[in-house]
Structure 1
Amino acid sequence: MTYQTQLRGECFSFSTLADVFAKANEVKSGDELAGIAARSDRERIAAKWVLADLPLAHIVDNPLIPPEIDAVSRLILDQHDSATFREFRHWPVGQFREWLLDDRTTGAQIRAISQAITPEIAAAVAKLMSNKDLIVAASKIRVITRCRNTLGQAGVLGVRVQPNHPADDPSGILFAAVEGLLYGCGDAVIGVNPATESVDTVAAILHTLDRLITTSGAPTQACCLAHITTQLAAMERGAPVDLLFQSVAGTEAANSSFGISLDLLREGQQRVLEHHAARPVSWVGMQAMYFETGQGSALSAEAHHGVDQLTLEARAYGVARAFDPFLVNTVVGFIGPEYLANERQILRAGLEDHFMGKLLGLPMGCDVCYTNHVDADQNSADLLLTLLTAAGCNYFMGVPCADDVMLNYQSTSYHDVASMRRLFGLAPAPEFAHWLESMGIFRNGQLASRDRESTHPLHQSIRGMLESVTTD
């Protein structure tokens, strides 16, 4: 089936629905690399025009990647709430956009239909939105999750403390993590990317983080972001697992390149939930999965099936929501300039990803980041951080000095997120905020003064905690 329209007397024709989707996307170097991008702004506008008039049912009834060849497509169809979808299946994409942005449409109404929205629908409507539209629509939607604490409520902004170390040194990890706690960060998770992918290393990191949490009494969760099979092997050896992590993508072939399948994710989720039930920990809730994504991952694995990277990112969220995650975040600028070439593309992708994830019912965070060979800088990160805070992002990364010395990329720092909390009047997760006050880290909801550090009771308690954690 071909799709045609005229724009000021010029006829534009698109050979497939995937072609419409790709050419309606905003400029992305990844789509250009794949050879599927619009060749001009006029062609891009024509594709958006066609997309705006397509009924939502047409998108659901015509999968971009046939379910016969792709497990992710089958998953999307299997989890689709077709009964709720009947209420608005006849809407064109443009009408759906207007409904989302209507002041009378509430976040609760959007959440009520999230299971009826397929990833392709989320991608389609995102392509018709301006940056401001993406912020306004996403800001309505709250997705609340619970593990050792509660995230996602209105007025709450969480932080993942990311104390990576190039040699996986426990002392280095601990001191970076404690610095994050001193800034009021770490309520989302204390999560370490291991430099070495080994069961012994992962187990040692998990034990170290658990001992820090236990000793300090901080109501938060730990994670070591190794491959899911490595984490499960460490768990079998007795390592405590709060959140089970995995990077996911939007096609079966791309996930296979990560060494995972949907069955493996199901098995992992079941095993970690059983592990939770057997541990003497006071859980607020039993959400135990943590996923990371990023535009361009399927293309980099040569597993994109001719579909644009925005739509494939939305399909990755379709994978994530099948496993009721506690955390999801897009690592928006990490994959490199081949896929997002500059500040403008990274900013756009971050707003798109956050909106689509929230629309699909996910607890979205963002690693606002860039690599050192892309046309962006820390001002770029500051801008996206501020816009995503306005959009209601659940959490950001807290990296010492915003410079990850293990992964060699630039992100956001502890004080960056503290600034966003102050600027927008936001607070940490409620259980974590109570702990911060009890420790003297916060006073009346704000970071406490650090005058006379040598005698401050906070530093005395932190010193004792470090000695306890680092002593075998």
Structure 2
Amino acid sequence: MKLTTAVFGRTFQFKDLKEVMAKANEEKSGDQLAGIAAEDAKERMAAKLVLADLTLGDIRENPLLPPEKDEVSRVIEEAVNEKIYAEIRNWSVAELREYLLRQRTGSDEIRRISRGLTSEMAAAAAKLMTNLDLVQAASKMEVTSHCNITIGQRGVLAGRAQPNHPTDNIQGMKASLYEALSYGIGDAVLGINPVIDSADSVKAILVATKEIMEKWQIPTQNCVLAHVKTQMKAIRAGAPADMVFQSLAGTQDGNTAFGIDVALLDEADELIQREGTGTGPNLWYFETGQGSELSAEAHHGIDQVTLEARCYGLARKYKPFIVNTVVGFIGPEYLYDSKQVIRAGLEDHFMGKLQQIPMGVDVCYTNHMKADQNDMDNLAVLLAAAGVNYIIGVPMADDCMLNYQSTSYHDIATLRETMRLRPAPAFEKWLEKMGIMENGRLTELAGDPTLFM
């Protein structure tokens, strides 16, 4: 590997691939906090130039975290299609980027070569792309999935209804959920973050959402975002769960901090396939987000973009129905301002889609971050243009339980109208039956939760 280049009369020598990958990142406060970021724009450009000339074989043959030391690395390695990898191993990262961006490369071609890529290769390509490149490349990739209904089709923007409540009050959750449904939101999932991480509480929420689905014959799926062990207890106690959820990290040590490992995920996968109420075959919901490994001191000196790509490499093993990056949730320690959040959202969506993940984004920020709702509107429009599978809806874009700012139910409805997008087909038929939508447009009944009361 050549790890040296000259820029503006200054020679840059990088010690290894890990340093090149970190310093080729766009500016991120998390990389600066970890002490691995480029010192200035010149060093960042030098790292990008070096990375552009490295081959995909160089990346695979110089693992940032060797498989013998990390089970996430092993999962990623074991998934590589060796025949396809052999065809592209001599491509440079720049050539991979050009292949993804050229006009005649379509979704089927990208789907095929993705089977020969590792997560680190996906991250490397992202580092050489502008924001518009990330939008263009991702917009080519159609990744569909099916739990009880299918989402991810071209021209479809689904929404997760997130009717959280600060005390897990079922009636309060129902009130919020009825508002979501009245705006046509909930086709991705009726997904609730519980305050109380107990099997009884999880079961009660799952029962309540399933009762609403059955009463109104809503074609969607439910999920409660408790720890996977808690959900497993609830499912074994008879809770009607269409999917099982878990947050993921990009290293084994990071997942240990989450209280999970591959063996536990395998056990949960077997359980939801056997006892879950979703029709499948896609029965998982994963959440990720740049910076979680650094929070757990489990990053091994690897940059946060590459670690995020590795999350999707792990998720791919379980053929999920939905995955989303909670992009601005951790705070300014890892993504300082709106510019960094917008960049991260586009990177994450692209890297997930390149690994054939049905990718959504929680377009969000925390109140101590240098960002506001207008910035989130900008990111939401960019993601809609990029073909994001779904985004999150909470009442008035303000999650009263998790205490962060996201996108509202009516924001998703507005994106659909503005960008000429539709709900999932099965869900749209239900909306038409309810009189909430007609010919792809919301009716006068939209936004009135009393329809369900």
Alignment TM class, shorter chain as reference: over 0.9
Spell out structure 1 runs of 4+ moving beyond 6 A: none
What is the identity, as a one-letter code, of the residue corresponding to 2:402? L
Pair 452,396 (structure 1): closer, same or farther in 2 beyond 3 Å: closer
Match of 1:180 in 2: 180
Cα deviation for residue 444 of structure 1 reads 2.0
The normalised TM-score by structure 2 is 0.98
Cα shift at 1:389: 0.3
Match of 2:303 in 1: 308
Cα deviations by residue, 1:152-209 (Å, 9 ceiling, x for unpaired):
0011110000000000000000010011000000000000000111111111111111
Q: What does 1:73-84 align with in structure 2 at a 5 Å threshold?
A: 73-84=73-84
2:160 is the alignment partner of 1:165: no
| 2:240 aligned residue | 240
Distance of 1:340 and 1:101 partners within structure 2 = 27
**Distance of 2:15 and 2:199 partners within structure 1:** 49
Q: Which residue of 2 aligns with 1:442?
A: 437
Contact 1:145–1:326 (Cα < 8 Å) also in 2? yes
**Are positions 1:411 and 2:378 aligned together?**
no
1:36-75 equivalent positions in 2, closer than 5 A: 36-75=36-75
Deviation at 1:8, TM superposition (A): 2.3
Alignment-derived partner of residue 387 in structure 1: 382
Which whole-Å CA distance do the structure 2 matches of 1:102 and 1:452 have between them? 42
CA distance in 2, matches of 1:150, 1:450: 25
TM-score normalised by structure 1 residue count = 0.94
Residue aligned with 1:207, SS:
helix
Q: For residue 388 of structure 2, what is the amino acid of its counterpart?
A: C
What does residue 319 of structure 2 align with? 324
Distance of 2:281 and 2:209 partners within structure 1: 19
Aligned to 1:468: none
Does 2:368 correspond to 1:373?
A: yes
Tell me which residue corresponds to 1:470: none
| Alpha-carbon distance between aligned partners in 1 of 2:233 and 2:376, rounded to the nearest angstrom | 36
Once the two structures are TM-superposed, the CA of residue 89 in structure 1 deviates from its matched residue by: 1.0
Aligned counterparts, 1:196-345, within 5 A: 196-276=196-276, 283=279, 285-345=280-340
| 8 Å Cα contact 1:2/1:15 also seen in 2 | no
Counterpart of 2:217, as a letter, is G
- The equivalent residue for 1:352 is 347
Which whole-Å CA distance do the structure 2 matches of 1:263 and 1:451 have between them? 45
Is residue 110 of structure 2 the alignment partner of residue 110 of structure 1?
A: yes
CA contact (8 A) 1:2 1:14 kept: no
Q: Classify the secondary structure of the residue corresponding to 1:154.
A: coil
In the TM superposition, residue 459 of structure 1 has moved relative to its aligned partner by 4.6
Aligned twin of 1:85: 85
Query: 1:3 deviation in Å?
Result: 1.4
In the aligned structure 2, how far is the partner of 1:37 from the partner of 1:145? 36
CA contact (8 A) 1:2 1:16 kept: no
Alignment check: 8 A CA contact 1:2 1:13 kept: no
Q: Select between 9-18 and 444-453 the one with higher mean Cα deviation.
A: 444-453
In 2, the alpha carbon distance for the partners of 1:397 and 1:266 equals: 27
CA distance in structure 2 between the partners assigned to 1:269 and 1:110 by the alignment: 27
- The one-letter amino acid paired with 2:324 is N
Work out the CA distance in 1 between the residues paired with 2:446 and 2:73. Answer: 57
CA distance, structure 2, for counterparts of residue 2 and residue 337 of structure 1: 34
Distance 1:65 1:165 in 2: 40
C-alpha deviation, 1:379, in angstroms: 0.4
How big is the shift at 1:86?
1.2
Q: CA deviation at 1:2?
A: 7.1
Check 1:420–1:186 CA distance in 2 against 1; reply closer, same or farther (3 A cut).
same
Counterpart Cα distance in 2 of 1:31 and 1:62: 21
Displacement of 1:268 after TM fit? 0.4
Match of 1:421 among 416, 428, 446: 416
Give me the whole-angstrom Cα distance separating, in 2, the residues matched to 1:44 and 1:451.
49
Q: Deviations over 1:310-352 (max 9, x none)?
A: 0000000001001000000000000110000000000000000
Q: Cα distance, 1:450 vs. partner? A: 3.1
How far apart in 2 are the matches of 1:99 and 1:182? 42
Report the counterpart of residue 129 of structure 1 in structure 2.
129
Q: Given the superposition, is the C-alpha separation of residues 301 and 451 from structure 1 closer, same or farther in structure 2, using an over 3 Å criterion?
A: closer
Query: Where in structure 2 are there 5+ consecutive unaligned residues?
Result: none
Q: Helix, strand or coil: the match of 1:426?
A: coil
Q: 1 CA distance for matches of 2:43 and 2:155?
A: 41
SS at match of 1:83: helix
For 1:24, the aligned partner's letter is A
Please state how far the C-alpha of 1:451 moved relative to its aligned partner: 9.3
CA distance in 2, matches of 1:451, 1:5: 58
Could you tell me how far apart the structure 1 residues matched to 2:138 and 2:435 are?
34
For 2:364, the aligned partner's letter is: C
CA–CA separation in structure 2 for the residues paired with 1:135 and 1:35: 29
- Over aligned residue pairs, what C-alpha RMSD do you find? 1.3
After the TM superposition, which of the residue ranges 311-320 and 80-89 deviates more from structure 2? Answer: 80-89
**1:469 alignment counterpart:** none
- Secondary structure at 1:165's aligned position in 2? coil
Code of the aligned partner of 2:311? A
CA distance in 2: counterparts of 1:40 and 1:56, whole angstroms: 26
Give yes or no for contact 1:207–1:240 (8 Å, CA) kept in 2: yes
Given that 2:183 and 2:447 are in contact with CA atoms closer than 8 Å, whether structure 1 keeps it comes out as no
Local SS of the residue matching 1:292:
strand
For 1:40 and 1:220, the matched residues in 2 are separated by: 48
Within 1, Cα distance between the matches of 2:291 and 2:352?
16
- C-alpha separation between the residues in 2 aligned to 1:243 and 1:450? 30
Secondary structure, counterpart of 2:159 in structure 1: strand
Deviations 1:40-97 (A, max 9, x none): 1000000000000001111011110111211111111111111111111111000111
